[in-house]
Amino acid sequence: MKKDFISISDMDPKEIQAIFELTGKLKKNKSKFAKALSGKTIALIFQKPSNRTRVSFEVGMYQLGGNSIYLGPDEINLGVRESIHDVAKTLSRYCDGIVLRTYEHKNVLEMAKFASIPVINGLSDFSHPCQALADIFTVKEKLKSLKGKTLVYTGDGNNVCNSLIYACFKTGMKINVATPAGFEPESSVVRAAGGSVRLFNDPIEAAKGADVVYTDVWASMGQEDEAEKRKEIFKPFQVNQKLLSFANKGALVMHCLPAHRGQEITDGAIDSPQSVVFDEAENRMHVQKAILIKLLGAKK
Ligand code: CP
Ligand code: NVA
């Protein structure tokens, strides 16, 4: 049976632990895995722009001895030129895996349903699981243990926020989410995470006791029309020195990137010694290499 990577909610804590262990090995000893996926090819179907996700998957696959093919919005024109069903069936005859970056989350589910090869969610409007796993791996690297640590997310209750809630829940962390009213994360996600998540409308209240302070853009890809309106609504939720003064001393500053400096985060915060944003970006590649080996590698 092929396995997909669509949501952290589908994973049990042991699987996450195993991915983190393999990630650590991959990061330490690149050459040992130079042939792990030799002869394998993944298709990267991207309906939205990307820097980190595309490059980290392409370079990661190359480092594992495999190959990748980037298929941007103009090439496949998913659902317009061809149905998801037909794309899934066709690519399953050539490739060994598909990474899909799309709008509606149901597109990822549909691709996974019809593909006979593993499908990886490279971001949907609902979630960004590769990001959240790399983020929590980064927290573990920096803070050593995760149990009982508090991550504070301030800003829009978006795809990244949803995945962080699942990731914190599955790894024994607590998460405080501060959003303006009406911009809360998905209620189904909050319900699933039980007592590990607390919602706030006041970022200062949320930031108290934080080991990690995290934010993301106020208008995600596809919400460009709302960007101006959102700038006003989200202003109090900016990560800056004042907000950081309410968190624990030396709390990690995180952002999935791309950042809109001066909006959701100040230069002072993102460039501070507490900031680990480029470690997060680097770890995207190491974590995804582990995911690729788990899903596409030879079964033992
Ligand atoms: N963080 C992230 O997914 O970045 P990209 O949109 O550049 O891939
Ligand atoms: N929430 C952002 C994340 C980008 C990596 C977006 O969906 O655009």
52 part of the active site: no
What are the φ and ψ backbone dihedral angles of 145, each rounded to 5 degrees?
Answer: -125, 160
Phi-psi region of 209 (alpha: psi -120 to 50; beta: other; left: phi over 0): left
Q: How far is CA 238 from the centre of its chain?
A: 20
Q: pTM for the full model?
A: 0.98
The length of the chain, given as a count of residues: 300
Of 105, 255, 284, 286, catalytic: 284
Tell me what pLDDT residue 179 has: 98
Tell me what pLDDT residue 230 has: 98
The C-alpha angle 205, 126, 3, rounded to 5 degrees, equals 120
Superfamily of domain 8-128+284-296: Aspartate/ornithine carbamoyltransferase (3.40.50.1370)
Evaluate: CB of 52 within 6 angstroms of ligand 1: yes
Dist. CA 64–CA 197, nearest whole Å: 37
DSSP-based three-state secondary structure for 142: helix
Mean pLDDT by 10 residues, the chain (300 residues): 96 97 97 97 98 98 98 93 97 98 98 98 98 98 97 98 98 98 98 98 98 98 98 98 98 98 98 98 98 86
Sheet of 150-154: strands edge to edge?
A: 197-200, 174-178, 150-154, 212-215, 252-255
Evaluate: CB of 50 within 6 angstroms of ligand 1: yes
Hey, do 8-128+284-296 and 131-280 end up sharing a CATH topology, with the first three levels equal?
yes
Tell me what pLDDT residue 298 has: 72
Dist. CA 189–CA 165, nearest whole Å: 7
Residue-range domain boundaries for the chain? 8-128+284-296, 131-280
Q: Closest Cα to atom 2, ligand 2: which residue?
A: 220
What does CATH list as the number for 131-280? Answer: 3.40.50.1370
Tell me what pLDDT residue 299 has: 62
128 part of the active site: yes
Residues 6+ apart with CB under 8 A from 153: 161, 164, 175, 176, 177, 178, 214, 215, 216
- CA-nearest of 241, 169, 251, 181 to 214 is 251
260 part of the active site: no
User: Please, how many CA atoms are within 13 Å of residue 151, restricted to the half-sphere of its CB?
Assistant: 30
